[in-house]
Each structure stands twice: as C-alpha cells, then as structure tokens.
Chain A
C-alpha cells in the first residue's frame, strides 16, 4: 500500500483563459480505493482526462509506476494498465452487449478464449442473458455496468470510474458499490468520481475534494464530513 501507482505533480490544464485544473498534486497507492468529489466545475472529469491522456496538461507531470507518462498517448497509457469508464456511457451502441465485451477482451486473448471469458464477465457484471441485445437498447443501468465490465476486461491496474452510478436506482447503486469493493479486493487500484454522497458513503474510502480546479481537502469519509470548508462548498451546511 506504500508505493504510489499514480503520481500527479503540479498538473495544470487551461482551456484558453479558463483554468480547469490548477496545480494538482496527488498520489494514488497500489490497491487503493479513492473517491474524488467536488461540486460541478471542480475539474474532476478534466483530471481523469489528463490521467488517460485525452488532454495534454498545460503544466506539471504525471507518473505511473514510477515512469513519466505525460507524453504518452491514450492507447499507450491504456496498454500500460489504465482503464476508464466515462461519465456518459461510452459503449458501442450499434453492437450487441456480447460484442462489446468481446472487443474489450480480444486485445489480450484469441477470439475463442475471449468468447469463453466474455460469458463469465457478463455473469459477474449482471449482464447474463443480454449478450444478444444491442448495447444501445439496454437500460441505462445495464449500460453503465457494461462499460465498467469493458473497462475491467482490459485487465487494468488502475481503474478510473467517472460517475459509475449516474442514473441508477438505489438498489443498483448498492450493487455497484459492492462490485467496486470486490474489484478492489482483487487488487485493482480504483479512482472514482461521484456526486452521490450516499454512494460515497457505501464506498467508505479515502476522499479527495476538488474545488474550482484546485485541491481542497483530503482524508477519510468521516474527516471530510466533519470538514467545515467542504460542508460549505459541497455538502451544504446541515
């Protein structure tokens, strides 16, 4: 738990005159489960896009497993073991659920093996019986699980989940939290963005709070809940 898997050092991202992320320094340790919270516009999604290489940073450096990955492209970072679920489900809408999972698995395995593994993956992610349905036609919650399933199918070391429970019912949210704990127990390092405090409580992990693109606070759930500043900006005074 003491080796940082991901290190962000003074990472900044500006879009013209707008600073979306400013001088963020963050260490994520191996096998850690951490949640990044903050109000809208705090720079959470931008932070994920910086980690995955979709945006080049304006300043600062990103290290992964001790290597500087700042100049690597998205697919190279993915091949190094970074995987992500996007805020809006990014699946292959015009393909079946089975093909979606297979496409994720076949980068590592031949088609026959990937096909067999896909069946197990779908069962584990609550997608059993849906293999033949188009991804664009299944309910939103299942699409979220499908995308998590696809992200996990690449066998990542670091899994980034951007609002994995958006649009889910309370029961689905609880199942998702359980799933994330299970993946974390299997050894995956997981970074989650979410707005839903109920879900964050279920995850019961360390929190990093961003506000207006800057690092604001960090600590255990209870500490953050007791943090007067965080309550002001995000949780609301109670």
Chain B
C-alpha cells in the first residue's frame, strides 16, 4: 500500500512524502470514514459542509502554491457552480432522472467561465497583483449582478434566480434507480460521497503537480521569462491551471447548493472570497493536504467562534492571516510536518523522500 502510494503520488512538487506522512494520511482517511459513526445528523451535515470546501482550497493551492498566481475570485466559480447546478438540476431532473449529470454540467459551465476569464487574463499578458485585483473585482461584479435578479423575468427555464433572497428548492444529489423514490444523497450518504471525492481530488492533484505539466507550472510560477526561453508556452500553462482551479471551485459550489438546497449571492461577497485565501495561506500554499486540513479546521474553528457572534470570528481569522504572513509566510503545515517527521523518523522507515531520483543518486555518489 505504502509502496503504491509512494510510487504514484510522490514527486518533487508536493510536500509530505515519507512513510510517516502516508501513514498519517491513511489514518486521516480512516478518521473521516468513522466520523459519522460518532456524530449526530446535525454534526454530519456540518462536517459535509466543511469537507465540500476542500475542492476550493485544493484549486487555490494549485494555482497559488504551484503556479504563483493569487486568485481572489475563486468564489465566482463557486457561485457559478452552485447557481448553475440549481438551474440544470431543476430543468433536467425529469429528463435525466438524476442530478449528477447536472452537477457535471455545472462544473463544465463554470470551467468554461473560468477558461474565458483565464484566456483574457493570461493571453492578455496580465500578471502578478493585477490578476488578484481583476479576480477580486469579478467576484464583486457577479455578487452585485446576482443580487438584482429578484424579478420573475430572471427565471431560467423552471428556476428563478431569486435575487438577494437566493435560489431556493435546489434538489439534492439523487439517482433514480427505478424505485418509487429516488436514491437521495443526504446526511451520511452525502458525507461519504463528498469525502471520497475530496480524497480522489487530492490524490489526482498530487499526481498532476508531479507530472511534466506540474513541473512546468512550478517553473512558470518561479521564473516566467526563463520558462519561456526554455520553450514553455506560459500563457497556456497558466490558463490551464486557472481553469482547473475554477472547475474545482465549481465542484465545491455545486455540492454546496446540493447540500443546502439553497444558494445566495453573498457566497460571492468579499468576505467569503477572502476565506479560501486565508485557509490556503494558513495551511501553506505549497502543501495541498495542508490547505485541505487548514480549510476544515479553520471552518470548524470559525463555527465555534460564531456561536459568540460572527464578526468576532472574522476579526480573529483576519488577525490569523496577518500573523501568518508576518511570521510563518510558508504556512503552518510545512514546518509542522518537518517537526512531526523528525519526531517520527525513528518509528517509520523513511520513504522515497521528496527528492528526484537524480538528486538522490548524485548525493549518494558525492
């Protein structure tokens, strides 16, 4: 098992490659599997809510951590994913008899939107802080636009967009297996589905990050001019990463709409748009798993704080972000991982390590 994980998912561009890391990862998966057994329905719903944001964090970690492009507008694609899931599922449910097709269509549609924005950004030569500003503005624009869609003229097929009150009666994820009632994904079923998808997305992104494309993305993020001189089409590479991150954000949005049966424009507001950035900065943007763990724990933390008034939660999270940038710019998980790795190195045989085979060969030979 370890050998299989190490062979397929270790590489130079991802952190956490030791036996200890993979053992902890498997323990984490087991924990996720067992969690619903010890939690009531409300708590399972809550955990599903936290987990469905993992895709958002993974996408941002890919473009910001690997590609060095800070997008402040991931919630745009989250919103588009959520709204279009609502529209597709209501309009297509009778025809397709399930809403998974609608979820796929929603992700596809949002990916096209991300691709379109990415095309104008990267093929237009926009870089650095301007990408951040434009993506931030795009989230504000879409929030403002969706907030004014209250009238009956703003109905797509059977689904009214709902203005600031939001889109209601969004169907849950369901399959019609031929019985009297459809097989609905709610509570623990939805939880397991989201957890399985999140683990698959994490492993998939690890594979991508360590592929030739992943190396090229890191190279472009590190030094665009050098990469171009080596023959890399940096615009294409950045455009692709931005689109993948958009698709992941849309997956979060679609699942969110299916989970709560509801979405409103405030998901694209400035406060919510800042959240993924906080999670990823806190977790360590270069560490995919760190970003997921950080997203889950900060949401949990925020919810605990919210019991005493949500404004405090935001102020504290903002403070956390400022402290992080000042004192641990690489995020919490890389140094924490190194510390734990050192502590555990006596227990676990060291795995393949995060270096390339050539680097090990060279160092041993030297």
Contacts and interface: CB of A to CB of B under 8 A. Distances in A.
Given A75-B233, A93-B222, A110-B212, A115 B357 contact: yes
B230 A103 contact: yes
B356 interface: yes
Nearest to A114: B212
A75 B355 contact: no
Contacts of A90: 223, 225-226, 229
B356 A102 contact: yes
A122 interface: yes
Q: B-side binding surface: helix, strand, loop or mixed?
A: helix
A52 B336 CA distance: 44
B308 interface: no
Interface string B335-366: 00000000000000000000111111111011
Contact of A119 (B219, B226, B227, B358): B358
A115 B355 CA distance: 12
Contacts of A229: none
Nearest to A123: B362
A91 B223 contact: yes
Given A128-B366, A129-B366, A52 B229 contact: yes
A99 to B, nearest CB: 6
A129 B365 contact: yes
B3 to A, nearest CB: 18
B362 A122 contact: yes
Contacts of B365: 128-129
Interface residues of A, number: 40
Interface in A103-123: 103-104, 106-107, 110-111, 115-116, 118-119, 122
Given A92-B219, A103-B219, A131 B212 contact: no
Contacts of B360: 132
A154 interface: yes
A128 B358 CA distance: 10
A89 B174 CA distance: 57
A110 B213 CA distance: 11
A46 interface: no
Contacts of B363: 129, 131-132
Interface in B206-259: 211-212, 215-216, 218-219, 222-223, 225-234
A38 B223 CA distance: 29
**Which of B211, B228, B234 has the most A CB atoms < 10 Å from its CB?**
B228
Nearest to B356: A98
B362 A132 contact: yes
A176 interface: no
B334 interface: no
22 contacts: A74-B228, A78-B231, A84-B229, A90-B225, A91-B226, A92-B223, A92-B226, A95-B222, A98-B355, A98-B358, A98-B362, A99-B12, A101-B358, A103-B215, A103-B227, A106-B212, A107-B231, A111-B212, A116-B358, A119-B358, A129-B362, A131-B361
Interface of A: 52, 54, 73-75, 78-79, 83-84, 86, 90-96, 98-99, 101-104, 106-107, 110-111, 115-116, 118-119, 122, 128-132, 150-151, 154
Closest 8 CB pairs of A and B: A129-B366, A131-B362, A78-B231, A132-B359, A131-B359, A98-B359, A90-B226, A92-B222
Given A102-B215, A104-B230, 9 more contacts: A75-B228, A99-B215, A99-B356, A103-B216, A106-B212, A115-B358, A128-B365, A129-B363, A151-B229
